A and B are shown apart, each in its own frame.
Chain A
């Protein structure tokens, strides 16, 4: 068996026998599945409540983009950090695995979970659309839908890689989760603090949580939704909603993902087990 195959089989065994994996996944499935069933039921009862693709993609992706990254981060920390608490990471290295390969296994877990959390809501929605009475359009995906899906994937990767970094740095699931959630408050506080300085006002929009919120916002991907929002805001005398340039957001998101993974890798290599 190849080294990658060995890693995959071991990580699969460890993950599929973890109760936390099934509880987290079950909860996510329950929420998204319930939402899909509700959408189908509403369309059956009221012909105006359309549940079809591509028209409903923005609704289908709204809940996962807001919840999926949190579920993924939670699960990543719960699966990775205990390897240090239980000292099984140390035992794997004693048994002959390099630290680099051990880390590669964890990146593999993250990639697998991200794929799962990405595909699962799409599959559930797809099943819902199939049984719903409404007609689907000739094009199943528009460029805006693809953009939103990419946004969701990047949200998963930002939170997942950040969680992996915290799990490797903190090495204990409880404190790592604490740091994870505390970061949101820190970023919020920083945003509040920096907004007092004209030159720094826009800086916080480039931070990881702010980027994730931008990517998770349907109005960032669907110009018609942004136009409707801004029309309302103009009527109410509110400032218009503006986002960073699409390319900048995607590039920054990828930079953060790479940085989180690199920091975790450097820590794994350097620190004693």
Chain B
């Protein structure tokens, strides 16, 4: 067993896919290590599914290369894919067959014994609906059946494309719990999603993709914490009883790097070039603005995502750079 076999499960090198005039995936380079829960985050149409399609063999790359468990040749990749469980976009099953028959077909393709079928159906809560036709399932049940299918061969790598699509809040929670259980068992999970909170709650690592290109990759903490616009080193949430005077004072503050209204509850999120919040408080008090709230503001993955996929934080007029 090579070193690569031990640690790197998925590796892409400038992976590219062009559909006629559309560059769907543009030189994507990433690496997923064993045991990681890797979030592949991007807006709809950003190339997530196409990238996964290349990994699972349904889309032929235009350029670049990739490996699964160190395998690179078509024959090796075919063998490597027996260690993968994957589902893309919507759950794909035969509508006129029951859930159990659908899993039977998948199990035979994967070379798995029938005994795993009931176990996997029970795991996703479909044990008593196995004989019912797939077309009678709700979208949530279809998603759960897809999850059951991915787990049939007890895969080392699980690739899930938008696994929460169509699920109600309870269903989403169950999917998160299943992913958590799988991660605890040491499985490597590659999770594509446009749901920021889902990735933030579930993943250890994340790649943010925009228009087919990876714009940021790393641990969730790195991606969230590493995003500072215009040289800011800390952000603060500031509230006062007079938003107009507060905004004027914050815009005039020499250490302000960025400024945007807080999402709810009024006030502003201000990006600062120094971490001297006491200095900011004095500046505001000297201008007759008395704050009701002043605290460091932890950026969410959503902040990072918006910044990275739609340009940097919203530009504020009158801010010195």
Confirm or deny: A200 has a beta carbon within 8 angstroms of a beta carbon on chain B.
no
A17→B101 contact, CB < 8 A: yes
Task: State which of A6, A86, A91, A95 has its C-beta within 8 Å of the C-beta of B95.
Answer: A86
Confirm or deny: B228 has a beta carbon within 8 angstroms of a beta carbon on chain A.
no
Residues of B within 8 A of A98 (CB): 78
User: Interface on chain A toward B: helix, strand, loop, or mixed SS?
Assistant: helix
Chain B interface size, as a band, is 20 to 34
Task: State which of B60, B88, B105 has its C-beta within 8 Å of the C-beta of A94.
Answer: B88
B109→A10 contact, CB < 8 A: yes
B108→A272 contact, CB < 8 A: no
Residues of A within 8 A of B86 (CB): 94
B109→A96 contact, CB < 8 A: yes
Name the segment of B50-58, B246-254, B282-290 touching the other chain: B50-58
Interface residues of B in 257-279 (CB under 8 A from A): none
B97→A17 contact, CB < 8 A: yes
Return the CB mask of A87-127 against B: 1 if under 8 Å, else 0. Answer: 11011111111100000000000000000000000000000
Q: Which residue of A lies closest to B56 (CB)?
A: A94
A91→B92 contact, CB < 8 A: yes
Task: State which of B58, B81, B93, B101 has its C-beta within 8 Å of the C-beta of A13.
Answer: B101
Q: Which residue of B lies closest to A95 (CB)?
A: B109
A92→B97 contact, CB < 8 A: no
A88→B57 contact, CB < 8 A: no
Q: Which residue of B lies closest to A90 (CB)?
A: B58
A14→B58 contact, CB < 8 A: no
Return the CB mask of B91-102 against A: 1 if under 8 Å, else 0. Answer: 011111100010
Q: With A94-B87, A96-B81 in contact, do A273 and B108 touch (Cβ < 8 Å)? A: no
8 closest A-B pairs by beta carbon, nearest first, are A91-B92, A87-B92, A273-B58, A95-B109, A272-B59, A94-B56, A96-B81, A6-B108
Residues of chain A having any CB pair with chain B under 8 Å: 1, 6, 9-10, 13-14, 17-19, 86-88, 90-98, 270, 272-273
A-B contact pairs, 11 of them (CB 8 A): A6-B111, A13-B105, A17-B96, A17-B101, A19-B96, A87-B89, A94-B56, A94-B81, A96-B81, A96-B82, A273-B59
A13-B101, A17-B97, A92-B109 known; 7 new pairs, CB 8 Å cut-off, are: A6-B109, A19-B96, A86-B95, A96-B82, A96-B110, A272-B59, A273-B59
